[in-house]
Amino acid sequence: MGGFVAGKHVIPNAWVVPAFQQYGYHVISIAYRFIPHVGLADIVDDCIDALAWCRANLPSLLGEDTIDLDRYVVAGDSAGGTLSTICGFKFEPKPKAVIDVFGVVDLMDPHFYTPQSVEAAAMWGKYHRARDDTELAGICEERDPSKAEVICPWDWELPPNMSTEDLRVFWGTPDFTPGEKDLLRMDLMKYTGKMANKFNILLRKEELSPEQFDQKRKEWSPFWVVDERKTYPPTFFLHGTADSAVPVEQSYRFAEKLKRLGVPTGEAYCPDGEHCFENKIERPEDEGWNEYIVPCMEFVDQHVRG
């Protein structure tokens, strides 16, 4: 998650490890480089490299008899959901299932290119430092991959909301120290959110004609790619119906298309659920576990072990 701008791989969302371990699965959380210094093709390459690393190294790390490299699932939420659905095409061998948690699957949707109103933009909060939008717009134009970051705490994980010591304990990273670059990246996330320019940056719109940009948006949209491929791994969708960041129609429409193609499809929608609604679900006794996590895991188990 993190809109391709920020986030962390050191700890997955709270429900992930308890849910998968309950069913006897290993959990591998991967990192990828953030925009603006790399684009979507680079980020997907990072995911492909991560799969290759897992296949080359997990047997020796975990034990040959504890892991079946061909029986795996790819999952992610928000930006991670987008990457997971793209990797459903890109990964070889194909995953046994894809879990799309409120990811963008149709990059043609005007919602993701419409700057927010002043009122809507206020939800992102104030910048950490006295910056104007011109400074952040300039940073959005940077393209040096050597400057790409792969980890950044959220606002609530940064001082004064959380001390550095508490963050280190929470993440399990005793040497991590948040700094100015993290404050800048959080400000960049707020800026790109309100300006709705993340996919312009991801796809390097400035290098393309309008026709080429439309073509590229379709080439990276699982919703459109499946029209040509006619096949896709079994997919489970988890989404809130009141998601203001990624409209739930993204999941509705892709799920319906997959079902028409005969792809096994599972769905769980949280009534009035906002973006990241499942973050509050941490363990089996929590509200929402039986409604959203159990159906997801039963779907996964059916297609991984079946």
Average of per-residue pLDDT across 173-201: 97
Q: What is the pLDDT of residues 244-261, one digit of tens each?
A: 999 999 999 999 999 999
pLDDT of 240 above 90: yes
Average pLDDT over residues 91-120: 95
When pLDDT is cut at 50, 70 and 90, the band that residue 119 belongs to is confident
Distance CA 45, CA 238 (A): 25
In the predicted model, what is the mean pLDDT of residues 134-142? 98
pLDDT grade, residue 304 (50/70/90)? Answer: very high
- Mean pLDDT for 83-110 is 99
Rounded mean pLDDT, 278-300: 98
- Give yes or no for residue 16 having a pLDDT over 90: yes
- Please choose, from the candidates 263, 269, 264, 262, the residue with its C-alpha nearest in 3D space to the C-alpha of residue 291: 269
Over the chain, what is the mean pLDDT?
Answer: 96
Q: What is the pLDDT of residue 121?
A: 74
Percent pLDDT > 90 in the chain is 93
Long-range contact pairs involving 166-173 (C-beta distance under 8 Å, separation at least 24): 170/11, 171/8, 171/10, 171/11, 172/10, 172/11, 173/10
pLDDT at 141: 98
- Which domains does the chain possess? 16-305 (3.40.50.1820)
Of the pLDDT bands very low, low, confident and very high (cuts 50, 70, 90), residue 1 is low
Residue 118 reports pLDDT greater than 90? no
